[in-house]
C-alpha cells in the first residue's frame, strides 16, 4: 500500500483541498477523462487521474469513495469546486505533468512498492 505522503513527495503534487490525510492509502490508480469509465473502475483503493475540473468529478469521487483525485496537466478547478470538495471530504491534488507521464511515474512507484 502506498500513502498520499509518499506520492506527494515523489511526484511533487500540490494539495488543492484542506486537511489532506497524508496517511490515506491506495494500491492502484486509474486515468480517464470519461466519467462513466471512472465510475465503472475506481474504488476506495484506486486514485483517479483526470484533466476534468468541473463539479461532476466530485460526484464520481464521492459515490466511488475514491481516496483522492489527481488533476493532471496543470488544470485547476474553480474555487467553488474546491470548496465543495472540502465540504464533501474529497481530496484533490494537482500535477503539472501530462496524464501519460504522471501515470507512468505513478505506475513505476506502485510497482516498486509492491515488488520491492
Partner 1 sequence: MGNVVIKTLKYSIGASSYDTVGSKAMQVKKALRDYFPSKDYMRRLGVCVFEAEANMAIHTTSGGELSIVIYTNRVKVVAVDSGPGIRDIDKALTPGFTTAPEMALQLGFGGGVGLNNIKRFADCFWLESTKCGTTLIFEVWNDDIT
* Nearer Cβ to partner 1 (7/60): 60
Smallest separation (angstroms) from partner 1 to the CB of 51: 9
Closer residue to partner 1, CB minimum distance, 57 or 110: 57
Q: What is the DSSP letter of 46?
A: E
Tell me which residues touch partner 1 (CB under 8 A): 33-37, 39-40, 43-44, 50, 52, 54-56, 58-60, 62-65, 88
- Identify the burial level of 78 via C-beta atoms within 10 angstroms of its C-beta, where 0-12 means exposed, 13-18 middle and 19 or more buried: exposed
Q: Where are the beta strands (DSSP E) in 1-116?
A: 2-3, 14-15, 25-26, 28-31, 46-50, 69-71, 92-94
The minimum distance between CB 77 and partner 1, in angstroms, equals: 13
For partner 1, the closer CB: 8 or 39: 39
In whole angstroms, how close is the CB of 11 to partner 1 at the nearest point? 23
Task: Name residue 29's beta-bridge partners.
Answer: 47
Rounded least distance, CB 37 to partner 1, Å? 6
Do 2 and 22 meet the contact criterion of CB atoms below 8 Å apart? no
35 φ/ψ angles, rounded to the nearest 5 degrees: -65, -40
Amino acid at each position: 500500500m502506498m500513502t498520499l505522503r509518499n506520492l506527494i513527495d515523489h511526484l511533487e503534487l500540490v494539495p488543492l483541498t484542506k486537511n489532506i490525510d497524508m496517511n490515506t492509502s491506495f494500491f492502484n490508480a486509474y486515468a480517464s477523462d470519461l466519467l462513466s469509465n471512472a465510475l465503472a473502475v475506481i474504488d476506495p483503493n484506486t486514485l483517479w487521474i483526470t484533466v476534468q475540473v468541473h463539479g461532476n468529478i466530485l460526484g464520481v469521487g464521492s459515490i466511488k469513495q475514491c481516496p483522492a483525485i489527481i488533476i493532471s496537466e496543470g488544470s485547476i478547478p474553480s474555487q467553488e469546486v474546491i470548496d465543495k470538495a472540502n465540504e464533501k471530504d474529497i481530496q484533490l491534488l494537482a500535477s503539472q505533468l501530462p496524464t501519460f507521464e504522471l501515470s507512468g511515474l505513478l505506475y513505476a512507484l506502485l510497482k516498486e512498492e509492491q515488488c520491492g
